[in-house]
A = this chain, B = another copy of it.
Amino acid sequence: MYVILVYDCGERRVAKMLKLCRQYLNWIQNSVFEGEISEVKLKEMLFKARKIMDEEEDSLIIFKSTDEKWLHKEVIGKEKNELDNLL
């Protein structure tokens, strides 16, 4: 399964969410991640995410696609994740 994940968290929770998402997906921009992930791993990640989030305040959106081939990605401007590969 291919997913795009975007989160919007309170400042105090951002670092934890970033760290968690990076363990499962590829960071592509700000609070946006993408990657191939199994249903089981996704559930595991969401379980951990819910523990970090304040569900009254924060939001996490996941777009799932059964196959990456149904999605075409286009980047305009700077490819922010160049940096990520160096970390």
Contact surface of A with B, Cβ cutoff 8 Å: 4, 6, 8, 28-32, 46, 49-50, 53-67, 70-80
Contact = CB atoms under 8 A, between A and B. Distances in A.
Given A31-B30, A63-B63, A55 B77 contact: yes
A71 B76 contact: no
Best-surrounded residue of A57, A72, A75 (most CB of chain B within 10 A): A72
Determine the main DSSP class of A at the interface with B.
strand
A78 B59 contact: yes
A76 B64 contact: no
Report, nearest first, the 7 A-B pairs whose CB atoms are least far apart. A70-B70, A60-B76, A55-B77, A59-B77, A64-B72, A62-B74, A8-B30
